Chains A and B, each alone.
Chain A
Amino acid sequence: MYKIVRKKELNPTVTLMDIDAPAVAAKAEPGQFIILRTDENGERIPLTVADFDREKGTVTIIFQIVGATTEKLNHLKEGEYIHDFVGPLGTATHTEGLKKVAVVGGGVGCAIAYPIAKKLHSLGCEVHSVVGFRSKDLLILEDEFKECSDKYVVMTDDGSYGEKGLVTDALKKLIESGEKYDEVITIGPLIMMKFVCRLTKEFNVKTVVSMNPIMIDGTGMCGGCRLSVGGETKFACVDGPDFDGHLVDFDEAMDRGSMYRSYERKKHEETCNLFKGVN
């Protein structure tokens, strides 16, 4: 059992938790993920590490409430326990030797982009962070990003904060204004990463994406997380989750991600009704 030592609502649909998991905290690196199970009947879901404190032995996770499991997770309180918490899994994001990087995050993906930006910054890399949200009330981690970014651009779909538009608009502007990046690292919805990659391909800038497909064990055992990368089948859990974005078949990844959508909707509804009954 793994204790929730801190819980904080970042916006109405996004929650942060610090989990007491010293063994995971000792090893975690930006870009890696954990798998958790809320309770005995729970499913195993992957969540990317948002931060870690090796001294306190805690791992931070940030999640959006999208389905039954995240709904259940969000109903756990500070001081309560998560049944299973295993990691760190996957390979860490490559950060060594980079001099100038644009970190592009979308929505809750910013939670994963942040530790990478922080690590790059600590290594002396110039970091330009471009973050996108639907609207101002969904904005997360603004202070944190500002602290580790040489440039920080916020985009909102409705223009309620920062500039109105998509992250690709902002990134395009930066590249066209003459910014030369060693790499673009992008994390967010698949459709966003797809278009970031389309843009950077035009400008021939190497782009790394972080994939988060359906998986069970996270150690290479089930193959449920398989993706086509450069025409080869890769397992996101052990070969990734980071991949060369210009080689990833995003359409297939989006397709595979929808496998259980109708089931998930039904289960989420059931869970919500269950909680309504309790409260």
Chain B
Amino acid sequence: MPDMSLTKHPMPSQEPDVRNKNFLEVALGYTEEIAVAEANRCLNCKNMPCVSGCPVNIQIPHFIKKIVEKDFEGAYEVIAGSSSLPAVCGRVCPQEKQCEGKCVRGIKGEPVGIGRLERFAADYHNANFKGEVKKPEPNGKKVAVIGAGPSGLTCAGDLAKKGYAVTIFEALHLAGGVLVYGIPEFRLPKSIVQKEIDGLSALGVDVETNMVIGKTVTIDELFEKGYDAMFIGSGAGLPRFMNIPGENLKGVYSANEFLTRVNLMKAYKPGSDTPIKENKNVAVVGGGNVAMDAARCAKRLGAENVYIVYRRGEEELPARKEEVEHAKEEGIIFKLLNNPVEILGCEDKDENGRPAPGYHFVTGMKCIKMELGEPDASGRRKPVEIPGSEFVLDVDCVIMAIGTSPNPLIKNTTEGLETNKHGCIVTKDESGLTSREGIYAGGDAVTGAATVISAMGAGKKAAAAIDEYLSNKN
């Protein structure tokens, strides 16, 4: 008989007032007992609605059944059959919009904690698996993967398992993409990402860091070097700004810059050479996961007041529900239905007319209140300014987390590679095939900023398509 309790088993976590001062992981993970109890909430539906909600179609009821049977390694194997990064996805997927959103248990009460169970199985495997990874028999064909983020890592892993010699080219000095520069340690420990990358190395995947494709080497030069096919997973790394006055003042960061300083460059650690400004009051503009990450990092770096400034309402926040909840628990202040119109800076000069200390550092952000009007193209109600409602938020730092666009470096140096007006690479269908033979693409480079799991899904489909293409080629 399944456990019919209406709520998920709570996730053991660090106390909010403790964790908002450290960078250790917030959610501590289910114990075996809790995992089995939560797994018992699954009704094991025949038609498996949850699977249809998963971008990589993990056989969810099957792995949950294995947990009920206490065959935790077996549960991992079921997940690994469909997902290359289970420990990552269990932590960062927006489950409420995917698998859990389709769970029958969610109709009355909370859905089964699928994400938490996925994480449990993956962590169990990582802690207990002692076996050797078997290197597949080489098939003599070479594939280049551009970008070591979620889509590239997935694509590389799937191809390596089929015997392809895969080289991943990464522009930064560390592989992982958004998993290492964007998502903070407290949400996704970097040791987990490294474990996934070590797993790829064990399969024979070669990772070349410090290689900016389009600059150091072009796509066509890679073909000349003997690669038979290519996957572009270069992500959406170009930050957007609002184009309001004051955006170039000192203390205004793109979320990309702020998070890269903190996560990739480890600015929060005393030993790191990378500086980050010390702030007292921080405004993060935007309502997505990146905004939540930036806000929670700012809090951990010692800011007294951290605000999320978002032009729509609570319902419209695009972030994962859990991130919003965690942020609130940690004392992040939500200024919803507000939009920035200008960033203000210090104009003080000394008696000689020279800039005084603090000159042109941020001193505040002027916002205007919004209300929700008719639904717009995205189906969400459009925020409209309330005339005369401007006010100044007292902040010394502003972080713009309003989205990113694909980087044009590859597009600009690859003839015949079609992109749309947003700079996204155009693909023919789900296979990820681009306008050039042998070149496939996926993830944010194709869709614009989206999720880790959808990028992974694209990497998987492209790997299958590349395999088919190269198998039929001779």
State whether B407 touches A233 (Cβ < 8 A): no
Partner of B266, one of A24, A41, A69, A221: A41
A259 / chain B contacts, CB cutoff of 8 Å: 250, 277
Which of B93-101, B190-198, B205-213, B365-373 contacts the other chain? Answer: B205-213
State whether A89 touches B274 (Cβ < 8 A): no
| A74-90 interface code vs B (CB 8 A; 1 in, 0 out) | 00000000011111110
Contact count band on B: 35 or more
| A217-228 interface code vs B (CB 8 A; 1 in, 0 out) | 101111110111
Q: In the bound complex, what is the Cα–Cα distance between A161 and B280 (angstroms)? A: 50
Additional pairs, 9, CB under 8 Å, beyond known A23-B217, A216-B265, A228-B248: A86-B173, A216-B274, A221-B238, A222-B256, A224-B257, A226-B248, A255-B359, A260-B275, A264-B275
Closest to A23 in B: B216
Q: In the bound complex, what is the Cα–Cα distance between A227 and B272 (angstroms)? A: 26
If the complex has contacts A220-B237, A220-B238, are A233 and B247 also in contact, measured as CB distance less than 8 A? Answer: yes
| A5-25 interface code vs B (CB 8 A; 1 in, 0 out) | 000000000000000000110
B253 / chain A contacts, CB cutoff of 8 Å: 224
CB-contacts of A187-245 with B (<8 A):
216-217, 219-224, 226-228, 233, 238
A223 / chain B contacts, CB cutoff of 8 Å: 239, 241, 254, 256-257
CB-contacts of B304-354 with A (<8 A):
none
Q: In the bound complex, what is the Cα–Cα distance between A7 and B441 (angstroms)? A: 42
If the complex has contacts A27-B215, A41-B266, A86-B210, are A219 and B409 also in contact, measured as CB distance less than 8 A? Answer: yes
Min C-beta distance of B253 to chain A, whole Å: 8
A41 / chain B contacts, CB cutoff of 8 Å: 266, 269, 271-273
Q: In the bound complex, what is the Cα–Cα distance between A84 and B216 (angstroms)? A: 14
Closest to B171 in A: A219
Min C-beta distance of B402 to chain A, whole Å: 12
Min C-beta distance of B382 to chain A, whole Å: 26
Interface of B is mostly: loop
A-B contacts, 25 listed (Cβ < 8 Å): A41-B266, A41-B273, A43-B265, A43-B272, A43-B273, A43-B274, A44-B173, A69-B273, A84-B209, A87-B215, A87-B216, A88-B215, A89-B212, A219-B409, A221-B181, A221-B237, A221-B260, A221-B407, A224-B254, A224-B257, A226-B241, A226-B248, A233-B248, A258-B250, A259-B250
Closest to B247 in A: A233
Contact count band on A: 35 or more
State whether A87 touches B212 (Cβ < 8 A): yes
Q: In the bound complex, what is the Cα–Cα distance between A41 and B264 (angstroms)? A: 10
Partner of A89, one of B172, B215, B355: B215
Q: In the bound complex, what is the Cα–Cα distance between A164 and B215 (angstroms)? A: 42
A221 / chain B contacts, CB cutoff of 8 Å: 181, 237-239, 256, 260, 407
A86 / chain B contacts, CB cutoff of 8 Å: 171, 173, 210-212, 216
Count chain B CB atoms within 10 A of each CB in A44, A68, A69 and give the residue with the most. Answer: A44
Min C-beta distance of A136 to chain B, whole Å: 30
Closest to A42 in B: B273
Count chain A CB atoms within 10 A of each CB in B212, B250, B265, B269 and give the residue with the most. Answer: B212
B273 / chain A contacts, CB cutoff of 8 Å: 41-43, 68-69, 72, 267
State whether B216 touches A27 (Cβ < 8 A): yes
Q: In the bound complex, what is the Cα–Cα distance between A267 and B409 (angstroms)? A: 34
Min C-beta distance of B25 to chain A, whole Å: 22
Min C-beta distance of B6 to chain A, whole Å: 44
B210 / chain A contacts, CB cutoff of 8 Å: 84-86
Min C-beta distance of A86 to chain B, whole Å: 4
| B382-415 interface code vs A (CB 8 A; 1 in, 0 out) | 0000000000000000000000000111000000
| A244-263 interface code vs B (CB 8 A; 1 in, 0 out) | 00000000100110111001
